Structure 1
Amino acid sequence: MTFALVTCSGISNTGKLTTQAALMLMQRRPGHYVWMHAKQSAATLEAEIGDADQVIVIDGCTDCCATKKLAKSCLVPHYHIIAAELGIEKKGMGEVRYDEIEKVVRAVMDKEVSP
């Protein structure tokens, strides 16, 4: 099964966190994920998601930028994860911590096993 990850394009710590979590997931399970930033056009997102079996949106905060961008396409996410709702505080341009990346990675991996 292939999962498409659509991540926030923000520059805050939670926005950067979504990118780092996607990169970590792709390292851990090569070929299992395709990944794209929400800053791409809706048409590009549709094309790049291609034949993925499921779409997982990872937003950094409750602004939900990735979700809003995906809504402009004909795609509907199977799962939606918001880093801030996992207890990760948005701190402007603060640094991302490894434990925060791991928390988001675990949330995504949990979605793979529980429909």
Structure 2
Amino acid sequence: MPITLITCSGVSNTGKLTTQAALALLQRRPGGYVWVRAHQGTETFADEIEDADEVIVLDGCTDCCAEKKLAEAGFRPDHHLVATEIGITKNGMADVQFVEIEKVVNSVLQVKR
């Protein structure tokens, strides 16, 4: 069963970074992840999480938008990663850097399963 990855996918650089990291994971591990953007709504969470073996929430910053949306749907993640807590600087609308994508992807891959 694939891992469900929920991202905030916000408009700031760290929010965009969660989207880029999810896309990189989907490309590197085909079939290994199901990706849900938090703004898709709580109905989507219920459908995707119901059968998930594991749920990872990836938020861009400490606003934790994705984790909050998941909680609204009545679910808790198995793992929660925040880009700004793993060394990424939130910098408004700055472009996402490749090295930042790699850092977040590696953090997701290192989650104990």
TM-score interval w.r.t. the shorter chain? over 0.9
In the TM superposition, residue 49 of structure 1 has moved relative to its aligned partner by: 3.1
Is residue 38 of structure 2 the alignment partner of residue 38 of structure 1?
Answer: yes
C-alpha separation between the residues in 1 aligned to 2:44 and 2:30? 22
Aligned pair count? 113
Indicate if the aligned counterparts of 1:12 and 1:91 stay in contact, CA closer than 8 A: yes
Indicate if the aligned counterparts of 1:34 and 1:49 stay in contact, CA closer than 8 A: no
User: Aligned residue for 1:26?
Assistant: 26
Q: What does residue range 1-115 of structure 1 map to in structure 2 within 5 Å? A: 1-111=1-111, 114-115=112-113
Q: Supply the AA of the counterpart residue of 2:24.
A: M
Identity fraction in percent: 59
Q: Deviations over 1:15-50 (max 9, x none)?
A: 000000000001000000000110021122111334
Which structure 1 segments of 5+ residues have no match? none
C-alpha separation between the residues in 2 aligned to 1:51 and 1:75? 12
Indicate if the aligned counterparts of 1:9 and 1:65 stay in contact, CA closer than 8 A: no
Q: Supply the AA of the counterpart residue of 2:95.
A: E
Runs of 4+ in 1 over 4 A off after TM superposition: none
TM, length-normalised to structure 2: 0.95
TM, length-normalised to structure 1: 0.93
